[in-house]
Amino acid sequence: MRELILGAPVTVVWLALFGGWTAIDSTSAGQVMISRPFAAATLAGWIAGDPVAGVVVGIVLEAFHLCILPVGAARNPEAGPASVVAGASYALAPHQPSVLLMAVAFALAWEWVSGESVRQVRQVNVRLVARDPEPRSRTIERRHLLAVLIDFARGVLLVVVGFVLLSLLLHLSIPRWGLGERIPHLVLGAVVVGLFASTLRFFGTRVKLFLAGAVVGLLLLRLHP
């Protein structure tokens, strides 16, 4: 690991633009859920050249987000840009459980930075659109679209800064990793299983249906071992 894992400049540009899209998708525009970790990390991995690596990150991060309800003005982590960073970085890095664990851990921290930036943008929006008692229709349109643009720029910035930071951390951490590969493999597997188990309570403790699903899972394993 002598070089930073950054990829080609054009890849970074595409990732940054995709990160901007995921940022506005989570609240400001569309909400087609391209910003969900499962989609965002996978597509970021595809942009970086390895969608299978991206989908692995996407599944782990999605498991962390299944039980989050974005209700009202609650403080929640924002998954989109962080998932782009983690999915692309893992796609470009050596595919080892230790690297996957570091990418996931970074994304989980970066989501909170991203969530805090959402709150800051919402404060900016107060000054931008909410303080004019008699706004003109053209002004409303202009300012509303400017708010969306600011949100997009926030996503671009989060992806670029996050991507460089995670590359730097991987560059420093991979040679110093002292736990082998079995422990991170086991930890990540157990974490994902535990998080899927937590959906039982999220969906209202439907024990029989959950067990039926587990049986379906066993049958699927038999069919596709």
Partner 1 sequence: MNHLPRSLQARVILRSFLVQGSWNYETLLGTGFAFTMLPVLRYLYPEDGAALRAAVARHTTVFNCHPYLATVALGAVTRLETEAVDPSMVERFKSALRSSLGSLGDQLVWGAWRPASALLGVVLVLTGLAWWVGVLVFLVVYNLLHLGLRIWGWRVGTHSGLEVGRALRDLPLQPLARRTADVGAVLGGAALVLAAAPAAPDPDGLAVVALAAALGFLLGSRTRKLFAGVVGAVWILAIFSGWIR
Within 60-89, which residues bind partner 1 (CB under 8 A)? 62-73
Residue 177 CA to residue 93 CA, distance in Å, equals 15
The number of residues making up the chain comes to 225
191 binds partner 1 (CB under 8 A): yes
100: which 2 tokens? 């996957």
> Could you say which of 135, 153, 165, 171 contacts partner 1 (CB under 8 A)?
135
- Which residue, among 116, 123, 125, 120, has the nearest Cα to 148 in the 3D structure? 125
Q: Which is nearer to partner 1, 2 or 176 (CB)?
A: 176
Residues 89-108 that bind partner 1 (CB under 8 A): 98, 101-102, 104-105, 108
168 binds partner 1 (CB under 8 A): no
The separation between CA 18 and the C-alpha centre of its own chain, rounded to angstroms, equals 12
148 binds partner 1 (CB under 8 A): yes
> Could you say which of 6, 17, 109, 161 contacts partner 1 (CB under 8 A)?
109
Residue 76 CA to residue 91 CA, distance in Å, equals 26
For CA atoms 175, 179, 182, 183, give the dihedral sign.
negative
125 binds partner 1 (CB under 8 A): yes
Stretch that binds partner 1, among 9-17, 23-31, 88-96, 157-165 (CB under 8 A): 23-31
Tell me the one-letter amino acid at 87. Answer: G
Stretch that binds partner 1, among 6-14, 88-96, 153-161, 196-204 (CB under 8 A): 196-204
CB of 171 to partner 1, least distance (A): 13
Residue 193 CA to residue 60 CA, distance in Å, equals 10
